[in-house]
Structure 1
Amino acid sequence: MSSQDVDTRIILVLLLVLLLALCAVGWCALRLTILLRRPGSLQCSVRAKNARGWRTGVLILGPRALEWFSTRSFLPVPQRVFQRAGFHIVGHKLARNDLTVAHVEYLGEALDIAMSPQSFAGLVSWIDSAPPAEEPTYI
């Protein structure tokens, strides 16, 4: 095998790797665009209470649940689903860079969710718009 054949193979492998990288970047950009265009979507970051790092993502306000999609994932499914019944805002504070950090509890798990003040208002509206719980009837 000549050195020219080896060089051609190396170039083809590099082009294939480049093509795969471009496809991955394109998929992530398309996925994020689709998520952000869905009705009820908010950009936010989530972390466990008192944890160090934030995980960026998109929160979708659905009829019965919140769906959280990580921006670092290739998967088209949510990484976390918070049912409306177990989701409660415990408090909130205004943080740096004009962000609101909501302190929430979900089934006993404490979480912080950072978002814009407008997104926080949308989250509060979503919670307030829940249908009233059924009252027991005794007959």
Structure 2
Amino acid sequence: PAAPSADPDHGKGWVFGIARYSGDRIEWFRVFSYAPRPRRVLQRGGIHVIGRREPAGQEELALLAGAVILVCEHDGARIELALSDDALTGFLAWLEAAPPGQRVNVA
């Protein structure tokens, strides 16, 4: 799924990327980068979904139409993921499909 992401603590704005599910983690690659490695790796057990919101203000211009912003925390750092409805459904299903005994944090 395509997953633009923002780093609200550093004010860098939205960065478009592609996410790849790989076992119990998601590897996120920037779209406009030559780097062969993921820019960020999110472990399923470290993701805590805080909530979701609609794009506001300038975000409406920066994001694809119909995007929903998922507010998360990953290992203590706040991140936001802008996802289409289909990508959001897939992401939440992946989180909930954790093996038995693994903590799942879906709001």
Q: Distance in 2 between matches of 1:105 and 1:63?
A: 19
Which residue is equivalent to 1:77? 37
Q: TM-score, normalised by structure 2?
A: 0.79
How many pairs does the alignment contain? 93
Counterpart of 1:43 in 2: which secondary structure? coil
Higher relative contact order (CA 8 A, sep 6+): 2
Structure 2 counterpart of 1:53: 13
> Whole-Å Cα distance in 1 between the matches of residues 49 and 3 of structure 2?
15
Q: Tell me how far apart the structure 2 counterparts of residues 76 and 93 of structure 1 sit (CA, whole Å).
A: 32
* Per-residue deviation, 1:56: 0.5
Question: How far, CA to CA, are the matches of 1:68 and 1:52 in structure 2?
Answer: 17
Aligned Cα root-mean-square deviation (Å): 1.5
Measured after TM superposition, the shift of residue 46 of structure 1 is: 0.7
Gaps of 5+ in 1: 1-41, 135-139
Partners of 1:75 and 1:49 in 2: how far apart? 23
Is structure 2 residue 76 aligned with structure 1 residue 113? no
Q: Percent identity?
A: 27
Which structure's CA Rg is the greater one? 1
Which structure carries more helix by proportion? 1
- Indicate the residue corresponding to 2:105 in structure 1: none
Cα-to-partner distance string for 1:78-106 (whole Å, 9 max, x where unaligned): 11101111111111123342111000100
Deviation, 1:77, is 1.3
4+ residue runs over 4 A deviation: none
Stretch moving more, 104-113 or 50-59: 50-59
Q: Name the SS of the counterpart of 2:88 in structure 1.
A: helix
